[in-house]
Amino acid sequence: MNYTFDAQTAVGRQAAPSASAKPAVTLAEHIVEVISDSGEGAQRCGQSLGAIAARMGNGVWTTEIIPAEIQPPARSVAGASGIRIRMGSRQVTNGGDETDLVVAFNEQVLLGRVQAGELKHGATILLESMWREHRDPKIVASYAKVLRALENDGYRVIEAPLERECRTLVSDPRRGKNMFVLGILCSIYSLELKLGREQIERIFGKKDEQVIKSNQQLLEAGWQWAEQNLDFKFRIPATRSAEPQIVVNGNTAIALGVLASGMEICAMYPITPATSASHYLSDVFERVGGIVHQAEDEIAACAFAIGASYAGKCAVTISSGPGISLKQEAIGLAVMAEIPLVVVNVQRGGPSTGQPTKMEQGDLLQACFGSHGDAPKVVLAASGIEDCFYSIITARKIAETFNMVVVVLSDASLATAQQPFPRPRFSADWLAPPVDQSPVPDGAKPYDWDPVTGLMRRFVPGQPHGMHTLTGLAHDRLSHVAYDPAINEEGLRHRSLKLAALQKTLKTPPVFGAPEGDMLVVGWGSTKGAIEEAVGRLSAEGLKVSSLHLQFIQPMPSGVKEIMQRFKQVMTVESNWSDRLEDEIIDASNRRYSALAMILRARTLVDVDCWSEARGQPIKPGAICEVVRERLKTGGMKQ
Amino acid sequence: MTTSSTHCLIRLHQEHHSLEDYQGGVPRWCSGCGDNAILAAVQRLCRDEELRPEKTMFVSGIGCSSRLPHYMKTYGFHGIHGRAFPVAEGVKMARPDLHVFVNTGDGDCCSIGAAHWIHAIRYNMNMTVMLHDNHVYGLTKKQASPTSPIGLKSNTTPRGSELEALNPLSVTLGVQNVSFVAQAVDWVPEVMYDIMSAAFRHRGFSFVRVIQRCPEFLPKMFEPWLHDPQKTLLLTHPDGLQLSAGLTKTYKNQQEHDPSNIDRAREIASLDDPIPVGILYRNPKVPCYEDLRHPAQMRTPEFIRAGFEKELDKVTVWPDEDLQTQRAA
């Protein structure tokens, strides 16, 4: 789309009064976006909408749209800040495809979303109309130009006097607009206003009565405006769960997991997009006796966690790609000395500073093979928001049972996305046992590796007769520095065996769809919802497509190769870089595959293909459908 | 609560340790290395303070200095280059009941681990730190270190080092929350022991720089000081060191210095000839990070559960019976 300058003022469709009784169109699902300049509260509006819909019993997935800067220039294409809410009759597992309805606070941020291809053709747009009468003629012209172009492109644009309407209620409409919009959306989607009022009480609960009242008035005014001025109304039927649900984002789920795992110490250094997990922990952890230590740097955060773990209290360090790279030397120490440690990597775009606020699955190989020498560690990837919570509990348990480093991978898309899921039922089994201070039996050795599993019993400071000096140097069973080549191999062997021992306990992951067919799509991490939705759609079209999602990537459960062999083609779908075969000099001999494809090819000798995207956005189910259809038609990748 | 005298006697017997109880492997340092003097002092300290070996922890980084934990018969953590401080902080935070010592060198502390050193001073966690400062990298075979004197010829500075030496005492005394700074030299072991003892008894981050000889790579560096006792300045004070009659006879160059006077401590720190030996600064009032951070409550499963459920309540969408009946109507 090309928005060339047009000096003529375009006239959009004015919001028209409609009949009071509008029939609500029933929908199975809808995607709505609220887009604004940074600081205008679009995210709070969208999260509230999501929470209300969740309380109605709808499936919900919210995705935040975050600009890189704290205060990007106002009214700029790159400064679009906001939120996308996907609501459905049934459970929603991902952000979905393009947007059906947008509320935009100015035309420039809207343009950002249009240019990114995020709007469905013919989507309905509610656009703040105040810019039409702005005192700056350039803004007036820009508004008119964009409006006209959008209409020419087939969008249905409704000009909405958001600020003007709000000004009748509050002195600073820029701060109240978001709740007015919430009212509009409650009306459009036939959500109960009572739940909207309660939501406002929830979010402003700590503030005074007046703030709550004024926001509720805005909500109601928005509702009224929409009822009187819009000629459409939707209803997304909902089925309420009898179970209580919680609505949190991936980072909060991680933090709750830390709380529930019984870990006591989280050592971290601020980094986007991981930090919000630590923010939440800082607020709540100390109420259950935990500590968030903000260290002087990433290395110190990791070393601090290692020290605490060594002393008997398994600790966690939470970071993102660049921070994890800094920690790698210390991670190697934990591997060598067999100290339990949980490392969370909320991945972002890379390399270097990359795209700090955007999602990418670019760190799988660093997670599996990072550090130096042979440093086996456990790598598991959270496949959704609920999984973020349970992964941490699993990780702590594995770390302490196997005396290993466990890396939990999440990413920026899970970090800020919200989804309702069943409220976890606390179990005392989740918690770590008390620190063992019993005397060590005579003659016991600090590294008494089991010949079959490689496991050993760790001695914790304070245990009488267990005194030894742990070292990052190659060592023998007494933790004495090894100068003998055979001893070095003995250590390597036993540390490696532990991964095999863990692998023996893992179940083969289930296939989503038929157990055999023309194509198997393999994924890991946050793409699960989108992949399975795509597989569902393709199966409905009659295509023989199934999918497999890996939670454990290192060690990889058995049976994966056998599953893959039952399909004519196997393709991974990942959010990272892989060489494009349409590039002139790329061929089978030099093509760099996506991370999981590389691992699967090496491990199984199956000719696994891959398709990947590194656009910083969650992969859409529609995009996966297109690729699969294409590959099935051409019979796999061109050589 | 009363305890029977028999019980006290049993405990006394159990907790009495001899020097051998703290002696681990045979040191592999070069003969004449100053590290041996530090090891001897610290083993004596453990015995005299009757530290339970299983409750005592030596954390180190990498370098000649950092081999020390291997020669103790306590718990030890010989980690990675420059990171002894954050490891020790993690240990202390998780286990305030342990006695934590840190052994680090001029490369480990003042170069690769310098960021951690600055912040360790700020945290002021209760640990005793020995900076084994021999002014040179020994384990990697003679490279200039941050504390090497200007002009030092080494494998990386064959025409002499270009930069002035960093002064670890001045740096430490310049950081907020500094609570204990002392300097010892390996050629006056009696004073080194007294300093370490004061450092151990100070609650907080006790930083002891020990100037030590490297007989392999800098054999002549401290010869003038060894030959002339006047070149060693002993700091004395009723609140600091009190010297034995024997020492007073040999080391006549003495000065009374009140360790609570930080301005004077900074002046003394900047001296390099004569070398000041003694307690430069001590402030028992600086709070320890572990005391500031540690929760008052015992972490029972029930306590954790209650906190967890409370958090979940805030984000829970409950099935709303009212609404359901309303809808059915």
The nearest CA of chain A is from the CA of B122 a distance in Å of 11
Distance from CA of B306 to the nearest CA of A (A): 8
User: What is the average per-residue pLDDT within A521-546?
Assistant: 98
**Model pLDDT, residue B4:** 59
Q: What is the pLDDT along chain B (329 residues), one digit of tens a residue?
A: 345 566 655 565 566 899 999 999 899 999 999 999 999 999 999 999 999 999 999 999 999 999 999 999 999 999 999 999 999 999 999 999 999 999 999 999 999 999 999 999 999 999 999 999 999 999 999 999 999 999 999 999 999 999 999 999 999 999 999 999 999 999 999 999 999 999 999 999 999 999 999 999 999 999 999 999 999 999 999 999 999 999 999 999 999 999 999 999 999 999 989 999 999 999 999 999 999 998 777 889 999 999 999 999 999 988 765 555 555 54
Closest approach of chain B CAs to the CA of A320, in angstroms?
20
Decide if A361 contacts A226 (C-beta within 8 A).
no
The pLDDT value given to residue B12: 58
Pick from A259, A260, A256, A277: which is nearest to A268 by CA? A277
Tell me whether residue A9 is in a domain.
Answer: no
Predicted local confidence at residue A203, as pLDDT = 87
Q: Among B76, B83, B323, whose Cβ lies nearest the Cβ of A469?
A: B76
**Statement to judge: residues A533 and A487 lie in one domain:** no
Number of cross-chain residue pairs from A and B with Cβ atoms under 8 Å apart: 200
- What pLDDT score was predicted for residue A6? 37
Straight-line distance from the first to the last Cα atom of chain A, in angstroms, rounded to the nearest whole number: 33
Do A466 and B305 count as a contact with CB atoms less than 8 A apart?
A: no
The partner residue sitting opposite A244, judged by closest CB among B54, B72, B318, is B318
Query: Which residues are CB-neighbours of B4 under 8 A, at least 6 positions away?
Result: none
Question: How many Å is the maximal CA-CA distance in chain A?
Answer: 92
| Whether residue A424 sits in one domain with residue A321 | yes
Q: Parallel, antiparallel, or unpaired: how do β-strands B127-133 and B205-211 relate?
A: parallel
pLDDT digits (tens, 9 = 90+) for A444-499: 999 999 999 999 999 999 999 999 999 999 999 999 998 899 999 999 999 999 99
Q: What is the ipTM of this complex?
A: 0.95
Residue A26 has pLDDT above 80, yes or no: yes
CATH of the domain at A290: 3.40.50.970
A63 and A117 together in one domain: yes
pLDDT at A66 over 60: yes
Pairing status of strand A59-65 against strand A81-88: antiparallel
Helices (H), A478-566: 485-503, 528-540, 560-565
Q: Is residue A139 part of a domain?
A: yes
**Domain residues for A473?**
436-505
For residues A81 and A126, give the distance between their C-alpha atoms in angstroms, rounded to a whole number.
16
* Residue A44: inside a domain: yes
Q: How confident is the model at residue A637 (pLDDT cuts 50, 70, 90)?
A: low
Side-chain half-sphere exposure of A585, counting CA atoms within 13 A: 0
Do A375 and A396 fall within a single domain? yes
Domains of chain B: 17-288 (3.40.50.970)
Determine, yes or no, domain membership for A6: no
Name the residue among A458, A432, A445 with its Cα closest to residue A338.
A458
In a domain, A3, yes or no: no
Dihedral through CA B23, CA B28, CA B30, CA B34, nearest 10?
A: -40
Answer with the one of A204, A235, A266 that is the final residue of a domain: A235
Pairing label, strands A517-524, B127-133: unpaired
- By three-state DSSP, how is residue A132 classified? helix
Contact B94 A307 (CB under 8 A): yes
Q: Does position A331 have pLDDT exceeding 50, yes or no?
A: yes
Chain A residues with beta carbon closer than 8 angstroms to that of B73:
467
pLDDT 10s digits, A423-446: 999 999 999 889 999 999 999 999
Alpha carbon of B64: minimum distance to chain A alpha carbons (Å)? 14
How high is the pLDDT of residue A227?
Answer: 96
- CB < 8 Å to B305, chain A: 426, 428
Distance between CA A593 and CA A599 in Å, rounded?
Answer: 9
Residue A424 CB partners (closer than 8 Å, separation 6+)? A246, A256, A260, A389, A390, B312
pLDDT of A638 strictly over 80: no
Q: Same domain, yes or no, for A254 and A227?
A: no
pLDDT of residue A16: 45
- Say whether pLDDT at A163 is over 70: yes
Residues A445 and A425 in one domain: no
CB contact under 8 A, B76 and A470: yes
Same domain as A440, residue A351: no
Q: What angle do CA A426, A403, A270 make, to 5 degrees?
A: 70
Interchain proximity A286–B324, CB inside 8 Å: no
Beta-carbon separation of B316 and A245 below 8 A: yes
| Residue A12, domain member (yes or no) | no
Range A598-615 average pLDDT: 97
| Minimum-distance CB partner of A471 among B78, B293, B320 | B78
Per-chain mean pLDDT for chain A: 93
Residues A254 and A193 in one domain: no
Instruction: Give the mean pLDDT of A145-153.
Output: 96
Q: Are residues A616 and A556 in the same domain?
A: yes
What is the value of pTM for the model shown?
0.94
Domain tally for chain A? 4
Residue with tokens 């090819």: A601
Residues A221 and A300 placed together within one structural domain of the fold: no
**CATH code where residue A558 lies:** 3.40.50.920
Burial of A535 (0-12, 13-18, 19+ CB in 10 A): buried
**Residues in chain B within 8 Å Cβ distance of A435:** 95
Cβ within 8 Å, pair A431-B301: yes
Q: Report the alpha-carbon distance of residue A176 to residue A183 in Å, rounded.
A: 11
Domain boundary among A475, A505, A535: A505
pLDDT of residue B328: 52
Q: Does residue A13 lie in a domain region? A: no
What average pLDDT score do residues A594-609 get? 97
- Which CATH number goes with the domain that contains A33? 3.40.920.10
> Using CB atoms, which residue from A290, A299, A306 is nearest to B90?
A306
Q: What is the DSSP string of A203-238?
A: HTTTS-HHHHHHHHHHHHHHHHHHHHH-S--EE---
User: Residue A19 has what pLDDT?
Assistant: 44
Cβ atoms of residues B128 and B98 within 8 Å:
no
DSSP for A301-367?
A: HHHHHHHHHHTT---EEEE-HHHHHHHHHHHHHHHHHT--EEEEEEE-B-STT-BTTS-----HHHH
Q: Does any domain span residue A328?
A: yes
Same domain, A541 and A624: yes
Note whether A188 and A317 are same-domain residues.
no
End position of a domain, from candidates A390, A409, A430? A430
